Amino acid sequence: MKKESSENHIHKVRHSLSHILATAVLETVPTAKLGIGPVIEHGFYYDFDLPSPLSEKDLHSIEKRMKQLIQEHLVFQKKSTTPAAIKKILSSQPYKHELIAELTREKKPLSLYETYRKKGTKKELVFVDLCAGPHVKNTKEIDPQAFKLTHLAGAYWKGDEKNTMLTRIYGVAFATKKELDTHLALLEEAKKRDHKKLGVELDLFTFSPLVGAGLPLWTPRGTLIRNLLDDFVWELRHEKGYEKIDIPHITKKDLYETSGHWDKFKDELFKVQTREDHLFALKPMNCPHHTQIYARKLHSYRDLPQRYANTTMVYRDEQSGELAGLSRVRCITQDDAHVFCRYDQIKEEMGNIWDIIDTFYTSFGFDLSVRLSLGDPQHPEKYLGDQALWKKSEKALRELVTSRIGKNYYEAIGEAAFYGPKIDFIAKDSLQREWQVATIQLDMNMPQRFSLGYINEKGKEERVAMIHAAIMGSIERFLAVLIEHLAGAFPLWLSPVQIALISISEKHTSYTQSIRKTLEKEGFRVVTLDSGETLGKRIRLAEMQKIPYSVIIGDAEKKNKTLNLRSYKKGTLGELSLEKTVEKLHKEIKKR
């Protein structure tokens, strides 16, 4: 008999724990209405419609009861039956009735999972749920010390803010207590690195209830970081022959009807009705606008490729419950670029974009892996264009990926954009969490919808290919990832304040000011911490602001015309001349 993989087993454990969680909640609140309880990364959750709210304190007693239930060696058993029978069994569960109706319409099989305890030869039913499984056979397979309920959250039924807000209870689970402890330690570290917390502490951004949720406001320091990141991307793009363009923030409905975005995203658009009764939309993406810049004139094969770069905001009507700091916002700054090229130029152009991505993410210490995101041939209705175009596009991407990294990638069916397949780059951060970041997308559909072409060597018109290239993608989301990856300690070139000057007493102030003038002339961003606070407090303030370098200035430094340099990451570096300090810091910035 083939041994079950550890991955499959932990999936069953997590799924079974979601049912144990529901069992414990129903014991406490018998009138609770059940939502869904799936497995997620590292754990599980279950949604409940409760007559009164739970608090974080309630999680402890629920978790304690779950452990008791596990130690009763409960049995899980699948039972296939009819929709009518399931409705009768779950007569008090309206959300389950809604799911049964959906599954019946979709002609999907229905089954229940029963949880019961054995009493001699008899079975006592403990819990029953609409579920396809899989589950463990017996809770003896679950280590009661290897899971933990972590937190509560609100969640709209089916993710729709028009529906009831449910209470979601999250838990994490692993095969052993040691794995759980390791994960909980990472969660604690993640809390310290939370970009929502650090962003405020470092004075990078803020949110205002008068402006609205999901609409971050950037301070001078945060704006500086955004601009430096964008400049870095532009520097890399400029080397590859890109040109800057600019576009309006609104468009007529017609543009998105032609591109196909209106039918796909009309519910996520902010719409604007004019006094003349024309319907416009705030742009949720830039590519249709860019097509019209290409379409302004007839291009020759000698003109190609055309490479357009544009950093601009787009707007999406995200649901309030899904907004999260900078990770999910309603205004998204995209470092967007599009290449219009001949089919025989696709591989080289996508390779150039890949080079930019490698350089950019390597500079921050991210490890990148690659996912080839393909269409789902079982559901062609979800995508634009015919299957022949899709096969051609997917073949081109697969050839590029294998030529660059061999077989060190994986394919994801159904993860493509609706207009074409893409290469997604997955960054692993310092806490070993994975984030989808940059993307290269090959689009043969939009050029067809907009009739974009060029005149070839024989004087005949040919269809052009379109490549979508986002390096950061969303600057907001990338900054959320970067802040947590670096714990807010930005590299010297990116730090909004690079050097803090700290004079020991007032008699050192004039020398400190002369040092500041010299450093600022050299282009460094400098702050002087010469308030009435003690020396120790000022040094701690520089550390709390995670300023890369502090310079302590006292009698010895004034007499010797030196700087006592202290690194945030490495501690005291000792005395250096001003010239040596400038040389050292310029060299560090140049290396990025």
Would you tell me the crossing angle of helices 509-521 and 578-591 to the nearest 10 degrees? 40
More confident call, 122 vs 500: 500
Q: Which of 33, 193, 371, 468 is catalytic?
A: 468
Whether 166 shows a pLDDT value over 90: the answer reads yes
Q: What confidence tier does 21 reach under pLDDT thresholds 50, 70, 90?
A: very high
Tens-digit pLDDT profile for residues 70-104? 999 999 999 888 889 999 999 999 999 999 999 99
Q: Which residue has the higher pLDDT, 393 or 471?
A: 471
Rounded mean pLDDT, 290-294: 97
Distances (CA, A) of 37 to 21, 22, 93, 137: 9, 8, 14, 18
Candidates 330, 341, 334; CA nearest to 307 is 341
Q: How confident is the model at residue 276 (pLDDT cuts 50, 70, 90)?
A: confident
Residue 436 annotated in active site: no
**Predicted TM-score (pTM) of this structure:** 0.86
Quote the pLDDT of residue 4. Answer: 60
Asked about 345 being catalytic, the answer comes back as no
Choose the catalytic residue: 148, 195, 261, 338: 338
Whether the pLDDT of residue 2 is over 60: the answer is no
Q: What is the mean pLDDT of residues 147-170?
A: 92
Per the residue annotation, which of 336, 424, 429, 530 is the catalytic one? 336
Please say if 468 is a catalytic residue. Answer: yes
Give the whole-number percent of the chain exceeding pLDDT 70.
99
Residue 156 sits at φ, ψ, to 5 deg, of -70, 140
Mean pLDDT of 176-188: 95
* pLDDT greater than 70 at residue 3: no
Residues of the chain above pLDDT 90, percent: 74
Mean pLDDT of 185-197: 94
Identify the weakest region by mean pLDDT among 18-32, 182-196, 219-233, 315-329.
315-329
What per-residue confidence (pLDDT) applies to 50?
Answer: 96
Q: Which two tokens stand for residue 113?
A: 């999972």
1 has a pLDDT exceeding 60: no
As a whole number, mean pLDDT of residues 267-275 equals 88
Nearest Cα to 225, choosing from 329, 368, 366, 326?
A: 326
Residue 379 has pLDDT above 90, yes or no: no
pLDDT at residue 479, as a whole number: 97
Mean pLDDT (the chain, rounded): 92
Average pLDDT over residues 58-64: 95
Q: At residue 392, does pLDDT exceed 70?
A: yes
pLDDT range class, residue 268, cuts 50, 70, 90? confident
Please state the rounded mean pLDDT for residues 248-272: 89
Q: Do residues 453 and 462 lie in contact, with contact meaning Cβ atoms separated by under 8 Å? A: yes
Decide if 422 is catalytic: yes
Active-site position among 221, 261, 299, 316: 316
Domains plus CATH for the chain?
Answer: 6-193 (3.30.980.10), 226-248+284-486 (3.30.930.10), 499-591 (3.40.50.800)
Q: What is the pLDDT of residue 274?
A: 86
> Cα–Cα distance between 478 and 274 in angstroms, integer?
35
Query: Phi/psi zone of residue 523: left (φ > 0), alpha (ψ -120 to 50 degrees), beta?
Result: left
Catalytic residue among 131, 287, 331, 341: 287
pLDDT interval class at 416 (50, 70, 90): confident
Residue 141's CB is within 10 A of a number of other CB atoms, namely 16
Q: Round to whole Å and give the CA distance between 538 and 95.
A: 58
The catalytic residue among 148, 307, 422, 477 is: 422
| Mean per-residue pLDDT, 123-145 | 93
* N- to C-terminal Cα separation, the chain: 55
**Set 93, 306, 334, 545: catalytic member:** 334
* Rounded Cα distance, 256 and 533, in Å: 58
Mean pLDDT on 33-49: 95
555 carries an active-site annotation: no
